[in-house]
Structure 1
Amino acid sequence: MTRINCGIPAQLTSIHTENSEVTAAELYSDGIHILQFQDYVGNVSELRNNDLILINGKVWSKHPYPSSIEKICFYSVAKIIDGHILVEDANRVRVWIPNKKPSIQIGDFIKYDFISKDITVIENNTANDFLSLDIAPYLYKPTDTLHYENFYGYSSLVSRIKRFFDINLRKKDLLKKYNSHPAKGILFAGNPGTGKTFLGKIIASEFKLPFYLINGPSIISKWVGDSENTLHSIFRAASQSAGGAIIFIDEIDAIAPARTSLSSQHDTRLVEQLLTEMDGFNSDNNIMVIASTNRIDSIDPALKRPGRFDRIEVFPPPTLNDRLEILTSKESTIPHEKLPIKEIVKRTEGFSSAELCAIFTEAIQLAVDHEREKISELDFIQGFNIVEKTRKKNGREYIS
């Protein structure tokens, strides 16, 4: 026996007697259904607009207990796009609802009537420490265990970058004596695996400031205006942080490609939004933007001028001395027999830092497979061969 009180609650929005159809809108989502009269269980003549029904597969019926439907729900506003708002309830369930109030802001607490579609603002967002539900995932929590000393190799590069942040974040008051402002941003460029993102996390750990980590492709949305809104919310939250903040944009080329006559409207809007945000914040507030890219030539030139990204630091492939430091430092953290580090160093020209560490990863896999308690010389050599073979297969080469 079919239960008549099971199904998705919906409201009839139109009735078409000439073609025996009714249109129903789901109460708790944007779902729309076109339903045939012949599937209806009961007297069709009793149907009226705004009646509540239950939909179960292709079977639908008039709701036997309409008063039992929860008509009022309370939400916080997470996103506002194109006449609709994305709201979230106490159980973190999200739904889109139409927005009839232009004054509603992200973070407002509202009451919504699913029957009348009325929205009542219960509490406005006025807190300076407000963090949008949509940007919370971008807030990276640094660890106390990361320091500049944990970045092996690249000693001169790391020293330059360390001085840059010390001057522009720790010594900004001295800059004012020269009637100068701190830099707004720094761009890390170089091949994948050279440690750009890792160094950014070290900086977050060193300065203990709110650190927003944005992966370029992850911020891109199919919704018009959504990416720009998220970007604006992140910069807004950073600017409201009393002690300052750092924003790290990884793979910035994905959201700020060079604009051409062939660029899509989405690409153009996102670049312009980033330019607006870079120009809009005050560097005196201890806000710094770090960006990284593997394709520096593809970034819009307007971002690379002083006043936006004031410094560009290129991460080249590790030198012989860098490779020796990286492998020796990694060796000291792992149980091992005597390993031919110096011989392997000579054979790893062009390897990235990540690929050098991958040699040990492969060696550990081999040692575990053979149930050895230490990495043997053979494990290490075979690990190198595996990584080298992978590099050749993928056609890895340094792009200057």
Structure 2
Amino acid sequence: MTDRDELAERRRKHLKLIHFNREDHTFVETEKPNVTFDDVGGLEDVKKRIRLSFILPLKQPEVFAAYGKSAGGSLLLYGPPGCGKTFLARAVAGEIEVNFMHVELQAILSMYVGESEHNLHDIFAKARENKPCVVFFDELDALGGSRHQMRAHHDRMLVNQLLLELDGLDNQSDNVFIIGATNTPWYLDTALRRPGRFNHLVFVPPPDAPERQKILELKLAGKPVDGLNLSAIADMTKHFSGADLEQVVQDAVDSAMERTFETGEIQPITQKDLLAAVKGRKPSTLEWFATARNYATFSDVNRDYQVVLDYMKKHGIK
């Protein structure tokens, strides 16, 4: 075999691998959510902001046109991890009664050069096929991070592709709406914040006391319980995220199961179990707020994150 033939064979195998990868790549499902804002407990300020900046322009474009405003741009949800950004995005799709695509990072990234950009383009193409559609990008900072801090050329190309796809959308004609979620919006590429892209920023805070009680009720539903005062537990879990509360319930379940194995009979989850679980946990959101405060105080030129500082002051977070 000549050198030219060997090179051709290597290229053929490489193309075959790429083709195999594309066929077996993570498939992004399209669904029709049956949840709306009525299913989102609390967060009234957040829902009001989303309605005004994202939903009403789609439902009543003539009103906004009278003021020189039009439907456009995309929605960026940010805040501490585990506070329900994904559920909120699904509720937005349910509120405007459109299809929903939840895109996670593994559905895009590939080990082959140029393949990630193809995957991203395919997702937008599928969204157009299923329009009207909301495309939800989880962990957007991992996909659209600042190009100035990227060393690898293919990482920068992926951000360029995302910008290209966003610029190619006309929300009024294509009916493809984009929602992103991130815990660290300050790490996003500045070009993503340009008007017409992710120019609607919405802070999703940790649940308040009534929301925490509702989350605890949902997580304990169907489990054996006895003498619970969930209102008291909700008051004790200030600043806890939904994920933190889920872990509290799991810790309490483990305690009840331990007694079950010791006695040989099913033991209920008690108030004591929950109290012990709460005492063994600290809210994971406090670390996020410490980072957000530093950025909002010293680097937030446009005061985009002043809402975070206001929230911290109101709720006594130092």
Taking structure 1 as the reference length, the TM-score comes to 0.60
- Distance in structure 1 (CA, Å) of the matches to 2:68 and 2:121: 29
2:225 match: 336
Task: Give the deviation of 1:171 after TM superposition.
Answer: 3.0
Query: Greater strand percent: which structure?
Result: 1
- Distance in structure 2 (CA, Å) of the matches to 1:180 and 1:372: 61
- Taking structure 1 as reference, are residues 85 and 367 closer, same or farther at Cα in structure 2, changes over 3 Å only? closer
Residue of 251, 254, 279 corresponding to 1:385: 279
Equivalenced residues, count: 283
Task: Give the deviation of 1:162 after TM superposition.
Answer: 4.2
Q: What is the 5 A alignment of 1:127-206?
A: 137-144=27-34, 146-172=35-61, 174-176=63-65, 180-206=69-95
Note the residue ranges of structure 1 that are not aligned, 5 or more in a row: 1-12, 16-22, 32-82, 88-93, 96-131
- Distance in structure 2 (CA, Å) of the matches to 1:325 and 1:201: 19
Q: What code does the residue aligned with 2:275 have?
A: I
Root-mean-square deviation (CA, aligned residues, Å) is 3.6
Once the two structures are superposed, what CA deviation does each residue of 1:299-341 show, in whole Å capped at 9, x if it has no partner? 0011112211131001123334543454456556655323233
Q: What is the 5 A alignment of 1:294-313?
A: 294-313=183-202
- Taking structure 1 as reference, are residues 256 and 339 closer, same or farther at Cα in structure 2, changes over 3 Å only? same
Residue of 152, 164, 168 corresponding to 1:264: 152
Q: What code does the residue aligned with 2:202 have?
A: E
SS in 2 for 1:246: strand
Task: Give the deviation of 1:269 after TM superposition.
Answer: 0.8
SS in 1 for 2:192: helix
Q: Highest CA radius of gyration, 1 or 2?
A: 1
Q: What code does the residue aligned with 1:141 have?
A: E
Whether 1:277 aligns to 2:147 is no
Q: What code does the residue aligned with 2:31 have?
A: K
2:140 match: 252
- Taking structure 1 as reference, are residues 395 and 281 closer, same or farther at Cα in structure 2, changes over 3 Å only? closer
Contact 2:107 2:119 in 1 (8 A): no
* Percent of pairs with identical residues: 28
Residue of 231, 236, 245 corresponding to 1:347: 236
Contact 1:186 1:313 in 2 (8 A): yes
Taking structure 2 as the reference length, the TM-score comes to 0.74
- Distance in structure 2 (CA, Å) of the matches to 1:261 and 1:372: 55
Contact 1:238 1:287 in 2 (8 A): yes
- Distance in structure 2 (CA, Å) of the matches to 1:366 and 1:149: 34
- Distance in structure 2 (CA, Å) of the matches to 1:158 and 1:135: 35
Contact 1:153 1:323 in 2 (8 A): no
1:30 match: 13
Once the two structures are superposed, what CA deviation does each residue of 1:79-98 show, in whole Å capped at 9, x if it has no partner? xxxx76844xxxxxx38xxx
SS in 1 for 2:27: helix
